[in-house]
Chain A
């Protein structure tokens, strides 16, 4: 439904504020916590110790001087950007396939939703049991194509691939759903007109369809990128950051820093850096999205 400006809408009243107040109070509480967490990142807060000193940027200074922290930043970025790139490509193909109108595509369309409705932690554990190098069913399938004993999450050089693989399986359907909506929004007359003028199927896809669904792809990418940069469940459920620190993304690293080593201030500082990564990436994708949308209209 199109958004319509309605001049008849009522002016601000008491009723408006009473309606908004409960939600604002609840969400406002979280804003306070967020600010509090930010403040804690500037202290030497440790669990179980009463004394807390404000020490400015010392946590950040400490973190930025350690190569392990830079490894975490790199792991977070590698995880999120490769996962989203694969999800965009496969999601586009999946949406085209299920939009083709063949009979099985219409029957099985609800199947796309399946990975999205399962708890991400259950998905992570499900794949963990399947990825076992000795007895896992995935290596059984791989043995048919001549690959024996792939290490999946058990070795540092394949662990990142394995966790990205799980993310891609789980969230590619999200891309497919949104691109699907974009494809349905293209009027058949435009495609028909191009075909009459002699355009080939590939030409129609590259010149007409892709530019028109690009805003949808970027919107899905925005949501997925934010979620992947924050991803905790899938990595905690499979590798917990290991082996070594091969998949030690910031959120998992911050969890262990705060709740296992009890350096709360330092853990909060790691999350602040993670949040800044999310913010910068999100602004970048929003700019791209605005550019793509203006080019279409």
Chain B
């Protein structure tokens, strides 16, 4: 009896914790379907007639003057596309440069190997602004300011160290005997890597790519400083706040869009995500 009581209490505690974790997101989703009058009112409204007007305003699909927000023009589709292009580009470049490096760190012994690995991990915690202050200068003078290519390169600061660490951890999971067998049969190193290791790595790399896409999608400071027209979605969100309180429902709709992408990614690769979020420590 006592044991069942404890188990009941624990289950209630779990529900409480889940409520605290999930309520803010649920609330924002609710707000994104409310009219402005239902958002800026006291007490807060929990039951309401849903409307998709906020999303129409967000993507500029509503007739001018037909909404409650007047003629204010919002361009949110462009930032979503910008974020996607930059994040996908950053992931691809990181895979090309990072997977061979991760393989080398997993399979070769050389002096200073562990130092190099931790040095690479250290980039994850680099003082971004200290790098961006000279970079702003440099991008302005070579014409990379506000360009996709410039952003994809600078996002490597965030994405490349993670890809290297994660691919290293996945290579270490592959039994060395498979590669040795291939080597005995006369396959060269590049061939082993391309034809044997890479196919075995594929599930791991898909997971790592999901996580790194997520990190790129999260980024705000780099876009804030280094872009103007080609801003990522996080910078566009901040601009949505400018019209003030009455615009909160549209802000909520924007927040929902910025959050849907990561939530879909969790559902696709939860196991990989945990490993990635803990730098390969959890397997």
Contacts and interface: CB of A to CB of B under 8 A. Distances in A.
B273 A33 contact: no
Interface residues of A, number: 90
Interface in B13-47: 13-15, 17-18, 20-22, 24-25, 27-28, 31, 39-44
B103 A19 contact: yes
Contact of B28 (A24, A98, A126, A173): A126
Contacts of B218: 119-121
Nearest to B111: A12
Given A232-B220, A271-B127, A16 B108 contact: yes
Interface in B160-204: 160-161, 164, 172-173, 176, 180, 189-190
A121 B262 CA distance: 13
A26 interface: yes
Name A's interface SS. Answer: helix
Contact of B31 (A117, A129, A219, A236): A129
A146 to B, nearest CB: 15
Contact of A33 (B135, B251, B255): B135
Interface in B259-283: 259, 262-263, 265-266, 270, 273-274, 277-279, 281-283
B133 A233 contact: no
Contacts of B101: 19-20, 22-24
B263 A117 contact: yes
B21 A117 contact: no
A30 B14 contact: no
A140 B160 CA distance: 44
B18 A127 contact: no
B96 A22 contact: yes
B61 interface: no
Contacts of B88: none
Given A8-B180, A122-B259, A140 B157 contact: no
Residue among A19, A102, A255, A282 with the most chain B CB within 10 A? A19
A8 B25 CA distance: 52
A261 to B, nearest CB: 13
A105 B14 contact: yes
A12 B107 CA distance: 10
B173 A1 contact: yes
A114 interface: yes
A117 B133 contact: no
A114 B164 contact: no
Interface in A133-191: 134-137, 140, 169, 173-174, 177-178, 181
Interface string A181-211: 1000000000000000000000000000000
A24 B116 CA distance: 10
A142 to B, nearest CB: 12
Interface stretch (A36-44, A54-62, A64-72, A77-85): A36-44
B67 interface: no
Given A19-B104, A181-B278, A264-B133, A114 B180 contact: no
A173 B127 contact: no
B239 to A, nearest CB: 11
Contacts of A11: 108-109
A94 interface: yes
B128 interface: yes
A15 B252 contact: no
Contacts of B64: none
A237 B254 CA distance: 14
Given A27-B120, A177-B274, A10 B108 contact: yes
Given A33-B135, A268-B133, A23 B160 contact: yes
Contact of B274 (A22, A113, A267, A271): A113
A140 B44 contact: yes
Contacts of A16: 104, 108, 110
Contact of B27 (A24, A104, A114, A137): A137
Nearest to A237: B238
Contact of B133 (A8, A19, A169, A271): A271
B11 A103 contact: yes
A210 B88 CA distance: 42
Contacts of A119: 217-218, 220, 233-234, 258-259, 262
6 contacts: A9-B108, A27-B123, A108-B15, A227-B125, A233-B220, A255-B221
The 8 closest A-B CB pairs, nearest first, are: A19-B100, A23-B101, A22-B97, A271-B130, A19-B104, A117-B262, A36-B134, A226-B125
